[in-house]
Copies of this chain bind each other. A is one copy, B any other.
Amino acid sequence: MAKIHEVAKAAGVSISTVSYALSGKRTISAETRQRIERAVRELDYRPNAGARMLAGRRTNIFALTEPFRADTYAPAHMAFVLATSIAARRHDYDVLLLTEEEASAGMRRVATSGLCDAVLVLDVAPDDERVGVARQLGIPSVFVGVPDDHDGLVCVDLDFEAAAGLAVDRLADAGHRSIGLLGHPPSAYLRSNFPPRIRAGFERRARERGLDPAVELPEPGGNGSRGVAVRAAVGALLDRGVTALVLHCDDAAHHAVLDELAARGLGIPADVAVISVGSTFDTTAMHPPLDVVPLVPQASCDRAVDLAMQMLSESAPAAGVYLIAPEYRDHGSVVQPDAPR
Contacts and interface: CB of A to CB of B under 8 A. Distances in A.
Interface in A51-108: 51-54, 59, 61, 64, 68, 70, 74-75, 77-79, 81-82, 85-86, 89, 94-97, 99-102
Interface-central residue, A59, A82, A101, by most chain B CB under 10 Å = A82
A50 B138 CA distance: 17
A46 B86 contact: no
Interface in A273-293: 285-287
A29 B102 CA distance: 32
Of the four ranges (under 10, 10 to 19, 20 to 34, 35 or more), the interface on chain A belongs to: 35 or more
A47 interface: yes
In this complex, the member of A48, A51, A74, A78 whose beta carbon has the largest number of chain B beta carbons within 10 angstroms is: A78
Contacts of A82: 68, 99-100
A258 interface: yes
A61 to B, nearest CB: 7
Contacts of A255: 223-224
Contacts of A114: 1, 48-50
A112 interface: yes
Interface of A: 1, 44, 46-54, 59, 61, 64, 68, 70, 74-75, 77-79, 81-82, 85-86, 89, 94-97, 99-102, 109-110, 112-115, 138, 222-224, 226, 251-252, 255, 258-259, 285-287
